[in-house]
Chains A and B, each alone.
Chain A
């Protein structure tokens, strides 16, 4: 099993550009989520999904969109990148409810200039 796979690993964007961060899992987990990690802040939830076709906002959703067309994939879209979105982004998946098997990808380091 590959677990949670994120691409790309690094990305530099200019202010105003858009892009999609990819996330895929092969563990048949119902629950998928996106976090951002900033220095001194720990990880904060951006968006999550409890199954295909169902998404909802987390703690810091502004400036991001998500969709869940399949169980395996959960892409995160930056609509118009801003310097405040410079961060490390982590995708995670788990079984729904108990957090069993809560697994993180290796992250995407995004810099917006």
Chain B
């Protein structure tokens, strides 16, 4: 089955740095979702995007729905230790379709 191309696979950053990750697809999605997953827990929704070109913020997080409907990015500003985890993008075509997930970006913050 199709998966989204999510990059980078992992990021090693210093506390306080900004973070950027993105997802691309060969096909169109009508909804883009960004999740964070901590060890032993389920994915938690961070930001949902429903319209091409939409730019949405949630605190230090900002995400955009690409104009072509084939990509999305997530930025985290001024990273803090609790930002550590795995971030997943997911696309939804609509109707009864399930989510198509990227393979995740593992964020590691070095002291």
- Known contacts A43-B88, A99-B31: A59-B98 contact under CB 8 Å: yes
Give every chain A residue within 8 A of B102 (Cβ-Cβ): 42
Residue A2, interface by CB 8 Å: no
Total contacting residues, chain B, CB less than 8 A: 26
- Known contacts A42-B104, A43-B88, A104-B42: A99-B33 contact under CB 8 Å: yes
Give chain A's interface residue range (CB within 8 Å of chain B): 20 to 34
The one of B43, B45, B48 in contact with A43, judged by C-beta atoms closer than 8 angstroms, is B43
The answer to whether A107 and B50 touch across the interface, beta carbons within 8 angstroms, is: no
The answer to whether B42 and A40 touch across the interface, beta carbons within 8 angstroms, is: no
CA A49 to CA B62, docked complex, whole Å: 32
Contact code string A77-113 (vs B, CB < 8 Å = 1, else 0):
0000000000000101000111110111111000000
CA A45 to CA B30, docked complex, whole Å: 18
The answer to whether B41 and A100 touch across the interface, beta carbons within 8 angstroms, is: no
The answer to whether A97 and B95 touch across the interface, beta carbons within 8 angstroms, is: yes
Residue A41, interface by CB 8 Å: yes
**Nearest B-chain residue to A54, judged by Cβ:** B96
CA A44 to CA B104, docked complex, whole Å: 13
Interface of B is mostly: loop
The answer to whether A106 and B92 touch across the interface, beta carbons within 8 angstroms, is: no
Residue B70, interface by CB 8 Å: no
CA A85 to CA B45, docked complex, whole Å: 26
Tell me which of B43, B94, B101 has the highest count of chain A C-beta atoms within 10 A of its own C-beta: B43
The answer to whether A35 and B31 touch across the interface, beta carbons within 8 angstroms, is: no
The one of B41, B95, B96, B103 in contact with A41, judged by C-beta atoms closer than 8 angstroms, is B103
The answer to whether B95 and A42 touch across the interface, beta carbons within 8 angstroms, is: no
Residue B99, interface by CB 8 Å: yes
The answer to whether B42 and A105 touch across the interface, beta carbons within 8 angstroms, is: yes
The answer to whether B103 and A104 touch across the interface, beta carbons within 8 angstroms, is: no
CA A107 to CA B33, docked complex, whole Å: 19
A-B contact list, 17 entries, CB within 8 Å: A35-B99, A42-B104, A43-B101, A45-B99, A50-B96, A90-B42, A96-B96, A97-B95, A98-B30, A98-B50, A98-B92, A99-B33, A102-B33, A102-B48, A102-B92, A107-B40, A107-B41
